[in-house]
Amino acid sequence: MTIFESSANSSECLARTGQLKLAHGSVDTPAFMPVGTSATVKAVELDALDKMGYSLILSNTYHLMLRPGKETIEMHGGLHKFMQWSGNILTDSGGFQVFSLAPFRKVKKEGVKFQSHIDGSMHFLSPERAVELQCSFNSDIQMVLDVCTAKGVTEKKALEAVYITSDWARRAHQTWLGKVSQGYQGALFGIVQGNFFKELRQRSAEEICALDFPGFAIGGLSVGETFEEFSDFLSFTSPLLPASKPRYLMGIGTPEYILQAVEYGIDMFDCVFPTRIARNGTLFTKNGRLVIKNERYKNDLRPVEEQGPLSRYSRSYLRHLFKSQEILGPILASQHNLYFLKNMMTEIRQAIVTDRFKNYKKNFLSAYQEGIAP
């Protein structure tokens, strides 16, 4: 299955543009995916995402299997109809969420047994089951079940995780091929692990890329490491993935991390961070993050930015919404941060096409000074 077509490449670095050809339409890359964990992007209507130009969002298998459950989604005819989204959906397998439940899960060769964070009930997820669930959701892109390890684990533990991840990837791939033969049109992505050991990253990449997945993801980064460590391991791992397939870096969503990822040839990224900080009153601007609850904005008549969902509202009014705990505040702020990133991605693609990405990155970061937006 071929889903990616590269169109332009930077002469200075690995940055590139392209298109994902998916069942619910094409997606221009590099692309940021808003996260709709439980079949909704928090505080944002799907019509608003559509108007911004988003055509690919992310949901999570772990959360959806627990609530509302596979049967309910199947009754609606799949996740698209359940949430009334006409664009594409990528579903994460739930591996990272199970990883975050460390005291309540047990990983074995067969799969992972875990305790629901909702009601304490016990569940079992295997790589085959993860594929079957995502097929029942009718995901346009689904992810294999993998084992993500925390920063600081021993090399032995990281090696065990690589071994299981590779085994699970082979089993998932076989299950997915069977579903494709039955008419399923979604793509399955493999995930490279290896923690912060380059030899293990190399091994994981070789084993995962030996399987003919339509796309590949890099997992286990942006988990608490420094920016320098992140850049080092990203620059090492990304070139190990096939240039003919889309590269997905999981779990990043800030301008500086996105720009670094694009420079190293990443095509896709996602993160809850932009909407999470928006609900708490922090906004992306071209001059850095703006904390709208600050007293300095009480009588500020300027808009947060001249364009986008907040262009008609003063900073004073937006601050009032948050201080009064009016729900419109988080709604508008969430829309703004997603609009900001969508606009940024458009600029990035234009910069790559005109072969000036490095200059664009330098100028953007020069203006984007963390935490001191005027």
Residues marked active site are found at 92, 270
Q: What are phi and psi of 105, to 5 degrees?
A: -140, 155
The beta strand positions in 271-346, using DSSP E, are 282-285, 288-291
* Residue 188: CA count within 13 A, CB half-sphere: 32
**Contacting residues for 287 by C-beta, under 8 A, at least 6 apart:** 367, 368, 369, 372, 373, 374
**Token pair listed for 295:** 């007293």
> What's the rounded Cα separation, in Å, for the pair 208 and 171?
12
Do 143 and 93 touch, CB atoms closer than 8 A? yes
Instruction: For residues 343 and 285, give the distance between their C-alpha atoms in angstroms, rounded to a whole number.
Output: 11
Tokens of 90: 């990528």
Is there a contact between 35 and 322 (Cβ–Cβ < 8 Å)?
no
Q: Is the peptide bond before 239 cis (omega within 30 degrees of 0)?
A: no
Q: What are phi and psi of 191, to 5 degrees?
A: -125, 130
DSSP 35: B
The partner residues of 6 in beta bridges, in order of sequence, read 18
Two tokens, residue 293 = 């609850």
Tell me which residue has tokens 């533990």.
157
- Name the β-bridge partners of 57: 89
